[in-house]
């Protein structure tokens, strides 16, 4: 071990150089983050993040002085501990914190990389603590600042950089740089696939094909208009319930999350339980959809309702909606209640928010500044698919952006084939007017919950909903938090509500077939419970999937059994499921 004055001077120089590198990392990471997340605009840029962080810090000069002193003393102590590890007979135990991104042995076995790791973790904790301690911030400002800070901290993670990642350095030596050659080729391919923007692959995009590996439940496209195709699934039982079921997926993703494969397909499960099932496949918009609005999408759904009723010879149907598809459905059934329209007998709302006072992490993208920036990105009347995908990836940047930057471009490894990530990467755009309306009227103004929401020429409110409702929230949902969903349930005083809380998150908590034997769900009475915590304290927990519970609820509202119906027997067939709308991919345009 080095212990002479000359050696100590050299160690000190290395420490100073490392500190300087850490400062340069922050500056370089800003440029890298901007490149990786290009298209989000000024409101979501890392420079704005730094501005907001500095603004919060300077709001209290005395606190800033103390925080700065604490920071530099902490960094000094880290360096002294590293010096002790290098030179002392009783070196401190390496810190094993940091999660899977610091899992490689090099982060603990090497004193230098252990210092880099600990300096980063200390900086990360310090920056996020300043957000917690900042004065004079509203809840919304604090949430936005927390988001900016978290994303900035994730972008400067030392694992993101070639020279600071021991695993990458080890692989580069072992492979004589071939990993970097492969990584560069993947980066070039992803830039080409993104039409000049880096479209980071999260899975093997050639391993799956829609209609072959996913979206394979047999059916027919029986009707379409400017914004949707209507699919009717073929029966798999001799008899079916008389009343059909129509499903409205979110238009921010493609519908086949509900028909991902034979083992995970909710659509196949429902058909097997004897339901006549219809699902909407939304268009991937272009300039042709520039004039579409909330009302026009609602009218398109009513058109699908009429076709499903004509096809089955029924006067009413059951209907379901997922995420924003459920929000549209919530306003639509309020309109039907207000106008005394009986075409919908019951509704099921999956991870659906109707009350947006505290609406989860997407709310950070809803303010006038962000909306003004979004408008500049939609000159042709629609939001490009890549922009929406980047926004969702930013919510989990470590997992959905930076881990793939390292795996793909630095280690040169092909990402693992995973159907869920293929679906996640199969992005959709958004009609401009519809998207801006949704962000403003719901996330910013909480317009439906506050009453006076105009829908198809009528002023509607939650109290206009009069039909039975089944609600599913998921416990770990960051898109539609369970507490927010529960507040929406409490507004629907005239409806008969059954509320179910599923384990896991926004996708896995919904797409959870009984055969998987995963997670659990909670049920209970919502009438006397003022918030989710009180409801959960009194709820009953059941292992496994909630699908069976929903089936029991749904079949009581689906009528007697009749002979199974051939898809499109009345209205005709346009093409086989899954249809052409879902095959329209942004990266193939």
The position carrying tokens 């959905």 is 400
8 A C-beta contact, residue 549 and residue 199 = no
Closest CA to 317 of 343, 341, 349, 339: 343
How many CB atoms within 10 Å of residue 206?
10
DSSP β-ladder status, 469-474 and 344-350: parallel
8 A C-beta contact, residue 227 and residue 296 = yes
| Choice among 231, 270, 308, 323 that is catalytic | 323
8 A C-beta contact, residue 202 and residue 400 = yes
DSSP β-ladder status, 245-248 and 540-543: unpaired
Closest CA to 343 of 329, 357, 360: 329
Measure the CA angle with vertex 406, ends 403 and 408; round to 5°: 100
- In SS3 terms, 285-299 reads as CCHHHCCCCHHHHHH
What's the CA gap between 148 and 155, in Å, rounded?
A: 11
Q: How far is CA 533 from CA 149, 339, 483, 486, 487, in A?
A: 29, 35, 8, 10, 11
What's the CA gap between 56 and 53, in Å, rounded?
A: 5
Closest CA to 203 of 26, 487, 436, 399: 399
8 A C-beta contact, residue 193 and residue 185 = no
DSSP letter (8 states) at residue 214: B
Q: Among this protein's residues, is 323 annotated catalytic?
A: yes
The helix/strand/coil state of 202 is coil
Q: Which residues are catalytic?
A: 323
């Amino acid at each position: 071990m080095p212990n002479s004055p000359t050696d100590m001077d050299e160690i000190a120089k290395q420490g100073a150089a490392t500190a300087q590198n850490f400062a340069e990392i922050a500056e370089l990471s800003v440029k890298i983050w901007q490149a990786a997340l290009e298209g989000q605009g000024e409101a979501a840029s890392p420079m704005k993040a730094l501005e907001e962080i500095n603004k919060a810090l300077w709001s209290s000069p005395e606190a800033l002085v103390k925080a700065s002193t604490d920071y530099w003393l902490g960094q000094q102590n880290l360096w002294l501990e590293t010096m002790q590890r290098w030179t002392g007979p009783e070196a401190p135990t390496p810190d094993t914190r940091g999660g899977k991104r610091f899992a490689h042995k090099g982060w603990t076995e090497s004193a230098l990389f252990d210092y880099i790791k600990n300096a980063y973790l200390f900086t990360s904790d310090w920056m996020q603590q300043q957000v917690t301690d900042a004065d004079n911030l509203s809840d919304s400002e604090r949430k936005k600042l927390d988001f900016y800070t978290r994303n900035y901290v994730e972008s400067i993670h030392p694992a993101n950089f070639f020279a600071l990642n021991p695993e990458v350095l080890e692989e580069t030596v072992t492979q004589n740089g071939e990993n970097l050659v492969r990584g560069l080729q993947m980066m070039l391919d992803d830039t080409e696939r993104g039409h000049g923007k880096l479209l980071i692959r999260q899975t093997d995009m050639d391993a799956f094909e829609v209609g072959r590996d996913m979206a394979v439940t047999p059916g027919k496209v029986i009707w379409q208009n400017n914004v949707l195709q209507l699919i009717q699934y073929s029966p798999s039982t001799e008899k079916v319930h008389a009343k059909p079921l129509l499903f409205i997926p979110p238009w921010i993703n493609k519908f086949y999350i509900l028909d991902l494969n034979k083992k995970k397909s909710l659509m196949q499960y429902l058909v097997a339980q004897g339901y006549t099932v219809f699902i909407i496949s939304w268009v991937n918009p272009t300039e042709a959809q520039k004039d579409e609005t909330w009302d026009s999408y609602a009218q398109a759904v009513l058109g699908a309702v009429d076709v499903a009723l004509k096809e089955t010879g029924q006067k009413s149907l059951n209907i379901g909606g997922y995420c924003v598809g459920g929000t549209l459905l919530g306003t639509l059934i309020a309109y039907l209640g207000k106008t005394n329209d009986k075409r919908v007998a019951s509704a099921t709302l999956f991870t659906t928010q109707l009350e947006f006072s505290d609406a989860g992490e997407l709310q950070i993208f809803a303010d006038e500044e962000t909306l003004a920036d979004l408008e500049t990105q939609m000159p042709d009347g629609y939001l490009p698919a890549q922009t929406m995908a980047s926004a969702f990836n930013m919510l989990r940047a470590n997992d959905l952006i930076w881990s793939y930057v390292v795996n793909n471009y630095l280690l040169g490894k092909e990402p693992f084939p995973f159907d869920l990530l293929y679906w996640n990467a199969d992005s959709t755009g958004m009609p401009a007017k519809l998207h801006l309306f949704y962000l403003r009227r719901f996330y910013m103004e909480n317009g439906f919950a506050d009453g006076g929401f105009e829908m198809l020429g009528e002023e509607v409110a939650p109290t206009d909903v009069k039909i039975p409702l089944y609600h599913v929230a998921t416990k770990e949902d960051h898109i539609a938090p369970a507490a927010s969903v529960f507040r929406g349930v409490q507004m629907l005083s005239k409806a008969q509500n059954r509320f179910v809380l599923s384990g896991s998150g926004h996708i896995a908590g919904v797409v959870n077939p009984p055969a998987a034997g995963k997670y659990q769900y909670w049920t209970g009475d919502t009438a006397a419970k003022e918030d989710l915590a009180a409801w959960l304290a009194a709820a009953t927990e059941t292992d496994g999937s909630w699908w069976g519970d929903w089936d029991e609820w749904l079949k009581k509202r689906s009528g007697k059994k009749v002979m199974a119906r051939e898809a499109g027997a009345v209205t005709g067939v346009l093409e086989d499921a899954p249809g052409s709308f879902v095959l329209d991919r942004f990266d193939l345009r």
